[in-house]
Amino acid sequence: MSFNKIIIVGNLGRDPELRYTPQGNAVCNFSVATSEKKRDKGGDMQDITTWFRVTLWGKQAETASKYLTKGSQVYVEGRLRMEEWTDRDGKTRQTLDVNGTDMQFIGTANRTDDYSSGDAGGDGDFQPARGSSNNEFNQAPPSDDDIPF
């Protein structure tokens, strides 16, 4: 048995691009940047950015295209693969591609409404799990009529 799953929480590097296959299936592509801080050999803190190319399909593709813009923060789950290719100068390059299986909005950056999807908090903080011990999260989940997509 094998397993390939990645979770990314980052910001869009460009606006999503929505297109449709000849069969009419929606497909959306966008890039997501994640960052972390690491100390270099001199002891100084450096920001390390990793870029991922994300592809979403179907209803999620249409939703991402409608509500996400460059700079939006997003949570994406999916399968990771590395693509190798040769650039114009003959150098071998690599990209990290994610075939997204789940996408959730985080925060309200670049959005005029206050909607959120799934477990993303409306206050802009990501909360991956809702504990029953916290009264703030003991409310009934939203119905399908409360979600704009």
Q: Give pLDDT tens digits for 42-77.
A: 889 999 999 999 999 999 999 999 999 999 999 999
Domain CATH number, residue 101: 2.40.50.140
**Is 68 a domain residue?**
yes
Can you give the residue range of the structural domain that contains 117?
6-125
Residue 133 lies in a domain: no
Q: What global pTM score does this model have?
A: 0.67
Considering only CA atoms, which of 83, 93, 69 is closest in space to residue 11?
Answer: 69
SS3 category, 6: strand
Domain count, the chain: 1
pLDDT tens digit sequence for 68-110? 999 999 999 999 999 998 999 999 999 999 999 999 999 764 4
